[in-house]
Structure 1
Amino acid sequence: MQNIQRSKLFWASCFALLVTSLSFGIRAGILNQLGVEFQLSASELATITATAFWGFPLAIVVGGFVVDAIGMKRLLVAAFIFHLLGILLTIFAQGYWTLFLSTLLIGIANGTVEAACNPLVATLYPENKTTRLNYFHLWFPGGIVIGTLLVFFFTRLEIGWQVQVGMMLLPTLIYGYLFSKLDFPVTERVASGYSTADMYKAVLSPLFIFMFICMFGTAITELFTGQWIDVLLRNVTDNALLILTLTTGVMVIGRGLAKPVVHKLSPSGVLFISAVLAAVGIYLLSTLTGNSIFLAAIVFGLGVTYFWPTMIGFVAENIPKSGALGLNLMGGAGMFAVSIYTVFMGSFYDRIVTERLPAGANMADYVTAAPDTEMATVLNNAKNLAGPEVLQATLVIPIILAFAFGGLFLYMRSRKNKGINDSRYAAA
């Protein structure tokens, strides 16, 4: 494929991922506003947030099964339609169920984008998959930075959350237009001549299953913490959203420097160090106060920077016969895990808050209390204590990942020392 055509497809993919990330950043920023305006509990907010993560794995897994047959372009046309419908429905939401449905549509659109674009980037750059996937996924934290800053400044200018959501329409229209004008290659698996049987054998290999399970933890560590940061850290700062902005800013820089990092450490080494830093970062976020919380945000950002693209890049490089299905099963696993964990931790958060209210208190009465009342103060104090507890419960996940990826690093190094080449390894 000509370099100009390849470059245009790559940049169109980046615009599509920008819409996905804006939906995360803006939703994280307006979560409290939605709760106040529609009188939603933390459990209801968690369910709405999790809906995006339900739609994502549904779309990405289905997309993984059909992308070889129908082509990546048709999937991206579908993503454009779902994004457009989801954004408009969010802008005109009237309550819990319209927010639920609109978030589901956006989640399906986000999953469809990754179902097409991950294999597209791997196909466009077969010689440099992990690095290019990091460059592509740079736009995920990049969009979150843009989205959270939009929320921060628009809120201070008293511009409504509907306008903030509407900002996603521009990049949506841009990527829809670009993809409609471009020709697409077939997926790498099809071009390489690997059969469907080879693909299914690859996704049932022990190495793929191991990475599939680890994807649960990497996704939860990164995405659950990011989506809930404004809620969990309100005890630390009135501008908790800026912590997410700082964290994702670190991720943008880190992914932009992926080439030397991945080359020096290897993908498995990067994953091990990432897990260690993520664990330290979450611990610091749950314990530090004052300006030192921003140091914690930087450490956490460094920890989660390479998780998602390096997990996908590892599979693309070392298990290429898994094809688009393998890449999309990885993404689906991550988002599904986040959806389940978010609902569970939303209920856990509400339970912690309820336990800190006066005996026999009705949670609904406190949620609907006027902001300047004693009941509202009591509720806020309870929430301030609940956030760090949720973070400390989540800390166990990156600790487990550190041991898992440490083992993976040693395993990969032993295979390299034995001279086992990629082709044998890929067939494992």
Structure 2
Amino acid sequence: MKNINKNRLFIASCLALITTAMTFAIRARLETVFGPEGIGLTLEQIGYAFAPAFFGFTIAMIIGGPLVDLLGIKKITWMAFLTHAVGIVLTLLADSMTSLFIATLFIGIGNGFVEAALNPMVASMYPEQKTKMLNRFHVWFPGGIVIGAILGWLIMDVLGLSWQVMVGALFIPLVIYGVLFFGQKIPVTERVQLGISNQKMFSSVLKPLFLFMVACMFLTAASELGTTQRIESLLKESVAKPLLVLAFINGIMALGRLFAGQVVHKLSPSGMLLYSAIFTFIGLWLLTVTSGGMTFVAAAVFAVGVTFFWPTMLGFVAEYLPETGALGLSIMGGAGMFSVSIVLPVMGNLMDNASAAEALRTMSILPAILIVAFFGLHMYMKKRQKTFEV
């Protein structure tokens, strides 16, 4: 990888992911701006308006995955930059469910292109440390949510400025990552480096183990992002400033991912996923029965659970199914975000017609299923490892 500035590219990638993550935190704060006490949308309508952030992400991942190998990582990265910019401008102009829907769609597509391009770039730059470096890269998803949540709280709740100022803050990381990527030589994907054919890549994504991981990604992503995206409404009766709970959760996640290397050393990826599912289930259940300061205790347990879900799912595929290439990583990310687009309106309906606690109880079913699934995966991987050793 001659003439490739890995450090600059990694920092630029992290800033692109910070931009992506800040949109999640800022969108969570916009729920009250556009909701019943603001512009007047119902919580179910908000769910539909926010859904494109997730299925738009999926569309970009599914399109961007194969195109990363064909067009190169650089072109997909600049497509992310452009759609991010358009999405931010349209969000600033949004004043209805329809306009918010369109703005959120562009943001979602930009976010999807970021992951479609930069997950395989990180994997190709650090072939011997995939799970560790993907976790380190994904530090900046919760890290960016912390930044966005605190900025949203400061701008709107402390300084009393308009929501447009909060949204406009997204231009800061956007411009910086654009400058850092400009003029840089970017590596080809690992699949291209290994000379794996398109035919083998497409056949590999039909392997039972990969399909199993895709199914699990539906549940891990919905457990994490479905909950955090609607935290303003879910916890408004339990705690005074739900956005600070969001920052707290993501602060724990960022720290956990920063030290993921040590955890990977002690636990296998499948073991990490099993423990994650257990803590996520306990955390969600605790959030249904706590209030006030104890909400932060429940949130901490939930945060420990979801910390390693997303990057370890990607790391598992990159390590054990490398022949799936950028397409495999894109399908995984796309499946995760698509599941959240389905969950958001369902949660909104539950909150409109039942209660926030009922929505959280329903969500806790997902990690309960994952405990069984990941226990089976862990046993399978241990058996497979023993077979290879023999």
Q: Report TM bin, short chain.
A: over 0.9
| Partner of residue 368, structure 2 | 399
Query: Given the alignment, which residue of 346, 371, 387 partners 2:356?
Result: 387
Amino acid at match of 1:416: Q
Q: Separation in 2 of the partners of 1:284 and 1:75?
A: 41
| Partner of residue 49, structure 1 | 50
**Cα deviation per residue 1:334-378 (whole Å; 9 max; x = unaligned)?**
0001101112222232222xxxxxxxxxxxxxxxxxxxxxxxxxx
Q: Separation in 2 of the partners of 1:92 and 1:196?
A: 42
Q: Separation in 2 of the partners of 1:17 and 1:180?
A: 17
| Partner of residue 39, structure 1 | 40
| Partner of residue 8, structure 1 | 8
Check whether the contact 1:38–1:96 (CA below 8 A) recurs between aligned residues.
Answer: no
| Partner of residue 224, structure 2 | 222
Query: Given the alignment, which residue of 312, 316, 319 partners 1:317?
Result: 319
Deviation at 1:33, TM superposition (A): 1.6
SS across alignment from 2:51 = helix
Check whether the contact 2:270–2:377 (CA below 8 A) recurs between aligned residues.
Answer: yes
Amino acid at match of 1:275: A
Change (3 A) 1:55 1:150: same
Check whether the contact 1:118–1:327 (CA below 8 A) recurs between aligned residues.
Answer: yes
Deviation at 1:420, TM superposition (A): 5.9
Query: Given the alignment, which residue of 272, 275, 281 partners 1:273?
Result: 275
Query: Given the alignment, which residue of 215, 221, 236 partners 1:213?
Result: 215
SS across alignment from 2:380 = helix
SS across alignment from 2:94 = coil
| Partner of residue 116, structure 2 | 115
**Cα deviation per residue 1:22-70 (whole Å; 9 max; x = unaligned)?**
0001111221122233211111111111110111000011001211000
Q: Separation in 2 of the partners of 1:152 and 1:101?
A: 25
Q: Separation in 2 of the partners of 1:81 and 1:292?
A: 42
| Partner of residue 26, structure 2 | 26
TM-score, normalised via structure 1 length: 0.89
| Partner of residue 153, structure 2 | 152
SS across alignment from 1:338 = helix
Query: Given the alignment, which residue of 300, 303, 313 partners 1:301?
Result: 303
| Partner of residue 143, structure 1 | 144
SS across alignment from 1:194 = coil
Matches within 5 A, 1:354-373: none
Amino acid at match of 1:23: T
| Higher deviation after alignment, 183-192 or 150-159 | 150-159
Deviation at 1:321, TM superposition (A): 0.2
SS across alignment from 1:37 = coil
1:238 aligns with 2:240: yes
| Higher deviation after alignment, 168-177 or 268-277 | 168-177
Q: Separation in 2 of the partners of 1:413 and 1:31?
A: 44
Instruction: Name the Cα RMSD after superposition.
Output: 1.2
**Cα deviation per residue 1:154-204 (whole Å; 9 max; x = unaligned)?**
122111110000000011111112212211111100110111111112110
Deviation at 1:7, TM superposition (A): 1.3
Q: Separation in 1 of the partners of 2:57 and 2:361?
A: 27
Q: Separation in 2 of the partners of 1:44 and 1:71?
A: 38
| Higher deviation after alignment, 22-31 or 342-351 | 342-351
| Partner of residue 255, structure 1 | 257
Query: Given the alignment, which residue of 379, 382, 390 partners 1:410?
Result: 379
| Partner of residue 200, structure 2 | 198
Amino acid at match of 2:349: S
Q: Separation in 2 of the partners of 1:320 and 1:80?
A: 27
Amino acid at match of 1:216: F
Deviation at 1:2, TM superposition (A): 4.6
Can you give the 5+ residue segments of structure 2 that lack an aligned partner in the other structure?
none
- Residue-pair matches, total: 388
Check whether the contact 1:349–1:390 (CA below 8 A) recurs between aligned residues.
Answer: yes
Amino acid at match of 1:405: F
Larger-gyration structure (1/2): 1
Check whether the contact 2:28–2:229 (CA below 8 A) recurs between aligned residues.
Answer: yes
Q: Separation in 2 of the partners of 1:254 and 1:291?
A: 22
Amino acid at match of 2:316: F
Q: Separation in 2 of the partners of 1:204 and 1:94?
A: 43
Percent of pairs identical after alignment? Answer: 48
Deviation at 1:4, TM superposition (A): 6.4
Check whether the contact 1:30–1:151 (CA below 8 A) recurs between aligned residues.
Answer: no
| Higher deviation after alignment, 85-94 or 69-78 | 85-94
1:130 aligns with 2:99: no
SS across alignment from 1:287 = coil
| Partner of residue 375, structure 1 | none
Check whether the contact 2:10–2:122 (CA below 8 A) recurs between aligned residues.
Answer: yes
| Partner of residue 266, structure 2 | 264
Query: Given the alignment, which residue of 170, 175, 178 partners 1:176?
Result: 178
Q: Separation in 1 of the partners of 2:77 and 2:163?
A: 27
4+ long deviations beyond 3 Å: none
1:94 aligns with 2:63: no
